[in-house]
Amino acid sequence: MKKIIRIIQAVLITLGLIHAQAEPAMDLQWFADAGTLVNATGRYQNAYNASDYTAFSGTDDLSPTMKIFYDTRLLDNSRPKLIYAQLGRKESLPANHGRTLELRRMNTLSKCTKLTEGVIPTGKKLGMTSVTIQLTQWGDYVAITDLLELHAIDNILAGATEELGAAAGLSNDILVRNVLLSGTNILFADAYNGSTYVSTPTSKATLLTALGSYKCNLTPDMIAKAVTNLKTNLAPTFEGNTYVAVVHPHVAYDIRKHPDWIDAHKYSATREIFEGEIGELHGCRFIESTNAPVIKAVGDSYATYKTMFFGKDAFAVLDPEGGGMESIYMSKEKIGGPLKQFSTMGTKFEMGAKIMYQERMVTVWSGGSYSATDTDNDTTYGVA
């Protein structure tokens, strides 16, 4: 090592960089080319001088890595909120193909006719139903001052991204849910006095009246009725030969007490678990969500709940190319005005959903143990 140092020292003397009589201590930084070439986020930084830096130019830009970071945070925080969308059939919409998707489905044919020897039967008429799904765009942002971004102890941009992701996921889920509120296949929970069934309400009004004297909970028997309804309508099942329902926690509180209830972590078979899945009863898997509709109009004494039961492909959700959920960061250099005083972090997404087969979903209106205290959970949001 000493020999190498002497050789280097001789070369430096020859080049006139040091004097022969000097005995300098070797500094390996002489040979480091970090200087002004340290890659930072948005610029090249001089490692030895904080005020000496050069902005990226042209394609020399590392900001895409920042976008990936924020997009990841956004999606990670929105995904747990997308309860309803996970149950729908995904329909792609390529870019530059408009904002409306037309879907067509063949109408169901009736049963075959008995043949008579040598006689040609009357043929069936084919029918087709057209359904259109319209995209709508949603979004929001927050503005952050340069002082807050510079001096806050916590990572404000990361925190803003997490909150925007959660809000976007919640909004998307409620928008899909509110489309599904137009389902026309409806059952009302039976009224009972604790041991005996008294009546079966036929409307929201009669359900509210019954709640004044009786319980009208989502009982195991009502779950069996909903499942039977779907089976009768030949609704296809999800993986595991089961249907799926989205239930409010206050309704789940009542049904999880049943001895036949199977918690999700106790499933005997290995199968995919839906986001928010809590268990199974009577051939139906349940997903718990605070977004499950709670209805309480002005003047109502009790809140009622809508638990939606789904067969496979009962509804469709659009997956627009280039229109998915994304984070959008605008630096103070781009948007902060003449004094670069603020930056923004935002998100936007496009969504569209439509019921494809009314017979493949059934909505059960019921009361519950919390009917007297619950409030409406925004069942008009996004409804035209």
State the CB neighbour count (10 A cutoff) for residue 98.
10
Domain presence at residue 142: yes
Length of the chain: 384
Mean of the per-residue pLDDT values for the chain? 82
User: Residue 145's closest CA among 339, 346, 327, 326?
Assistant: 339
- The C-alpha atoms of residue 283 and residue 21 are separated, in whole angstroms, by 92
Query: Is residue 119, in this structure, part of any structural domain at all?
Result: no
Q: Are residues 361 and 226 in the same domain?
A: yes
Q: How far apart are CA 40 and CA 181, in angstroms?
A: 50
pLDDT value, residue 263: 87
Asked, for residue 283, whether it belongs to a domain, the answer is yes
Number of helices (H), then strands (E), in the chain: 8, 21
Shared-domain flag, residues 169 and 24: no
Q: How does strand 186-188 pair with strand 361-366?
A: parallel
Distance CA 219, CA 366 (A): 9
d(CA 234, CA 313): 12
Residues 179 and 327 in one domain: yes
327 shares its domain with 361: yes
Regarding whether 370 and 308 lie in a shared domain, the answer is yes
* DSSP state for residue 295 in the 8-state scheme: E
Counted domains in the chain:
2
Render 296-348 in DSSP notation, one character per residue: --TT-SS-EEEEEEE-TTSEEEEEETT-S-EEEEE-HHHHSTTTT-EEEEEEE
CATH code for the domain of 314: 3.90.1690
Which one of 17, 34, 54 terminates a domain?
54
- Judge contact between 280 and 364, C-beta under 8 A: no
Radius of gyration over every alpha carbon of the chain, rounded to an integer in angstroms? 32
Residue 121 located in a structural domain: no
Query: In this structure, is residue 113 part of a structural domain?
Result: no
Residues 188 and 242 in one domain: yes
Q: 109 lies in a domain?
A: no
Residue type present at position 43: R
- Same domain for 325 and 372? yes
Prediction pTM value: 0.74
Both 141 and 12 in a single domain? no
C-alpha closest to that of 160 among 346, 348, 354, 379:
346
Burial of 266 (0-12, 13-18, 19+ CB in 10 A): exposed
- In this structure, are 37 and 184 located in the same domain? no
Is 296 a member of any domain? Answer: yes
143 and 46 in a common domain:
no
Per-residue pLDDT of the chain (384 residues; tens, 9 = 90+): 555 556 666 655 665 655 655 454 545 444 444 455 666 656 667 777 777 777 766 554 445 555 666 667 666 766 667 899 999 998 877 676 667 777 777 777 788 888 898 888 888 888 777 778 888 899 999 898 888 888 776 688 888 888 888 899 999 999 999 999 999 999 999 998 877 888 899 999 999 999 999 999 999 999 999 999 999 999 999 988 999 999 999 999 989 888 889 888 777 666 678 889 999 999 999 999 999 999 998 889 999 999 999 999 999 998 877 667 888 888 888 888 889 898 888 899 988 999 999 999 999 999 999 999 999 988 888 876
Domain residues for 331?
63-104+129-384
Does one domain contain both 353 and 224? Answer: yes
Classify residue 114: in a domain, yes or no.
no
Distance (Å) of CA 264 to CA 8, 67, 125, 248: 70, 36, 45, 16
Find how far residue 173's CA is from the centre of its chain: 6
Question: Any idea which residue has 């268990």 for tokens?
Answer: 279
In this predicted structure, what is the pLDDT of residue 119? Answer: 87
Q: Are residue 22 and residue 138 in the same domain, yes or no?
A: no
Tell me the C-alpha distance between 357 and 382, whole Å. 22
> How does pLDDT run across 350-368, given as a tens digit for each residue?
889 999 999 999 999 999 9
Under 8 Å between Cβ of 281 and 288: no
Q: Cβ distance 276 to 270 under 8 Å?
A: no
pLDDT at 1: 54
Q: Are 235 and 314 in contact (CB under 8 A)?
A: yes
